[in-house]
Amino acid sequence: MLGSGIINGLAVTAKNLVGSFNDPKRLVTTEYPEQRTQIPEAFRNFPFLVCDDGDKSLETLRCVACQICEKECPPQCIYIEKSKDKKPDATGKPQFYPAVFDIDTSVCMSCQICVEVCPFEAIKMDQEFEIATGDRFGGLLFDRDRLTRSNAYYHCIHPTEAAAVDARLAADRKAAEEKAKAAAAAAAAKAAAAAKAKAEATAAPPAPKPPEGSPPAP
Amino acid sequence: MIDESVLERLPLIAGEFLREALPYPWNWIVRSLLVIVGILAVFGGLFAALTLAERKLLGRFQNRPGPNRTTIPFTRIRLFGLFQPIADALKILTKEDIVPRSADRLLHFLAPVSLVAFALITFAVIPFGRHIVPVELDAAVLYFFAAGTASELAVFMAGWASRNKYSLLGAMRALAQLISYELPLLLSFVPVIMLAGTLSTTGIVDAQDGWVAGFIPKWHVLTPWGLVGFVVFLIAAFAESNRAPFDLPEAESEIIAGHLTEYSGFKYALFFMAEYLGMCALSAMGVTLFLGGWRAPLPLLEIIPSYAWFAVKLLSVLFLFIWVRATLPRLRMDQLMRLAWKFLVPAGLLNLLAAASWQLTAGWSATALGLGARWALAFAIVVIPLHLLARTMTRHHQPRVYRYA
């Protein structure tokens, strides 16, 4: 019938009008500052620096100021100054650390390339999006202290990813320890062999030299 | 009438009191002043309330809460955002008034002013209540049309003076649309004028006096030709007031804002106001012509003053405007023209025939069978040809198939 489509449409909107007063589920609006939705785990905004212990953030900062992220950053929003001295990292090995680490969030395009290239799992993507400020130069330039967040916080915002990163770091550390142990064992064996050879040399004519650069035990 | 309540006679009493209270040179213009101040105050307030009501209702029609964050000034109490119009007014009044460098400054200024003026003067002939008729004109309906049509000039003035292609396109669209829909609007009024035998709005309201069988009001909308005429009137009124689904002149997605593109601040607010005032005036005219004006729907309810009934009817029609806007998407230009010239104009002309047959068969109403035949004849004259017409117009219509979606 002519006009039946219009009448059907009017019925739909009338149902909305009455229904939105009776059934709060119909109103899908989240009234933002008071109500918030759960941010999806995969959401990313701007990078932050991971430290292992939130209380001693500078001492446990994973970043070693290798400057790979600075070089890779497509919009060049990262600025790093390497420290003159060294501090021990999580494994106790002395490492450089970033004396200055700035990210200009007004330039950053949230591409995550810095995260992809970091060999130390030191830079990750944050979920903080309420960074609006009246000062568009200073207020949007994040320095090292503003960027540093604890590993616990990382677990909070990206649980799956953080668990994978921790497992990888632990495996790497374990492999390194085993490697060091094996190397120490090989060195000890070599030293023992050398001592033995020396003892034999004093007693007997010199034996043929062992092949040089013998690979350490795997 | 003798048994009129005090409330009903309130406007008369107030006018009389002011005439007595004021000194000689003023008392004879007090009536005109009262009317002007009254219209400006009531419809200015209604404009503010309508902008809020429209946004709230549109939200609810689309399952949104609508604007609800405005606080009462200097407090933190929100009260459902009822103070939104004040915030809107403050915002728009403090905005910069920009005139394009190459615009015609005089016309650019004159367009919004004249548009509001033309919209306001149409209220002069509307009978708002039994004793509230601003100007009693014998040719009131003609005057209403003359004033309403003048607003088209103002719209084109705005489009031309802005020296902007979108403005000009919008103004040309507006002109084409307004002139096209002027005709069905007029044709929907003609049967009313024909059967009431007068162009005076008070006369037309008087023609709708009385009751059928003691309780059914003799409103024109309750006759076959009146019903068809009211539908034609509504469609034409949507188009005349530039509202969705006929908002092509200011279609945001196509031509920015049409003739409003180069306007800002207070001038923009004036256009907005003129649009709402025009909508109110057209609705008021529709109420007067088809819905019995200020008359109560039941004899029992006549104790409620007439202007209250007029307000209720006016607000109902305005609600219908908002409801339709929330429902229907915008038409294309060719669809707009086709609807006006190929459907509404024939409908209006057929309705004229139906009204004539209704008038000529007035004697049949004595018996129930005769009354039924009278209704059937009048409806048949309009509905059968229109149905055939619609069939030929929509013959090639079929559900759209999206091949690449």
Q: How far is A23 from chain B (nearest CA, A)?
A: 10
What is the C-alpha separation between B272 and B26, in angstroms, rounded?
Answer: 34
Q: Is the CB of residue A6 less than 8 Å away from at least one CB of chain B?
A: yes
Assess contact for B194 and B181: CB atoms under 8 A.
no
Q: B2: pLDDT confidence band, cut at 50, 70 and 90?
A: very low
What residues of chain A lie within 8 A of the CB of B328, using their CB? 6, 9
Beta-carbon pairs below 8 A across chains A and B = 41
pLDDT cut 90: percent of chain A above it = 30
Residues in chain B closer than 8 A to A24 (CB atoms): none
Question: What are the chain B neighbours of A27 within 8 Å (beta carbons)?
Answer: 63-65
Q: Report the residue of chain B nearest A26, measured CA to CA.
A: B63
Q: Which of A2, A16, A29 sits opposite B65 (nearest CB)?
A: A29
Model confidence at B405, pLDDT cuts 50, 70, 90, reads: low
Q: Quick one: which H or E segment has residue B222? A: none
In this prediction, residue B345 carries a pLDDT of 92
Looking at residue A24, its pLDDT comes to 83
Is B390 in contact with A16 (Cβ distance < 8 A)? no
Q: Do the beta carbons of residue B283 and residue B317 sit within 8 Å?
A: yes
Beta carbons of B323 and A31 less than 8 Å apart = no
Residue B170 tokens read as: 């919008």
Helix or strand (DSSP H, E) at B135: none
Closest residue to B60, CB basis, from A9, A17, A28:
A17
Tokens encoding B377: 């004849």
Put simply, the chain B residues between 50 and 69 with a CB less than 8 A from any chain A CB are 57, 60-65
Test B328 with A9 for CB contact under 8 angstroms: yes
Q: What interhelical angle do B140-161 and B165-196 show, nearest 10?
A: 180
Tokens 């309540």 sit on residue: B5
Contacts of B229 (CB under 8 A, 6+ apart): B188, B189, B191, B192, B220, B290, B348, B351, B355
Residue in A10, A27, A31 nearest the CB of B63 = A27
d(CA B18, CA B340): 48
Query: Could you tell me the two tokens for B316?
Result: 């109902």
Buried b (16+ CB within 10 A) or exposed e, B270-298: bbbbbbbbbbbbbbbbbbbbbbbbbbbbe
What would the pLDDT profile of B182-227 be if each residue is shown by its tens digit?
Answer: 999 999 999 999 888 889 998 888 888 888 777 888 888 888 888 9
Provide, as residue numbers in chain B, all residues whose Cβ is less than 8 Å from the Cβ of A21: 60
Note whether A115 and A81 are within 8 A (CB).
no
Give the whole-angstrom CA distance, residue B404 versus residue B13.
70
Query: How far apart are the C-alpha atoms of B13 and B10, rounded to whole Å?
Result: 5
Tell if the CB–CB gap between A29 and B61 is shorter than 8 Å: no
Calculate how close chain B gets to A16, using CA atoms only, in Å: 5
Q: Nearest 5°: CA angle at A59, between A56 and A65?
A: 135
pLDDT at A215: 53
Q: Does B324 touch chain A (CB under 8 A)?
A: yes
Residue whose C-alpha is closest to residue B239's, from B388, B135, B343, B117: B343
Q: Does A29 sit within 8 Å of B60, measured CB to CB? A: no
Extended beta strands in B299-365, E state = none
The whole-angstrom separation of Cα B357 and Cα A214 is: 118
Q: Which of B91, B74, B73 is nearest to B82 (CA)?
A: B73
CA distances from A56 to A60, A63, A100, A158 (A): 6, 14, 17, 22
Query: Can you tell me the distance from the alpha carbon of B370 to that of B367, in angstroms, rounded to the nearest whole number?
Result: 5
pTM equals 0.79
Residue closest to B270 by CA, chosen among B141, B181, B154, B128: B154
Q: Which amino acid is at A66?
A: C
Nearest to A10 among B327, B390, B394 (CB): B327
Amino acid at A59: E
* ipTM rounded to 2 decimals: 0.78
Render pLDDT for B293-348 as a digit per residue (tens, 0 to 9): 888 888 778 778 888 889 999 999 999 999 999 998 888 888 888 889 988 999 99
User: Given pLDDT bands bounded at 50, 70 and 90, which one contains residue B258?
Assistant: confident
Span A155-190, pLDDT tens digits: 989 999 899 998 998 998 899 889 989 999 999 998
Residue B38 identity (one-letter amino acid): G
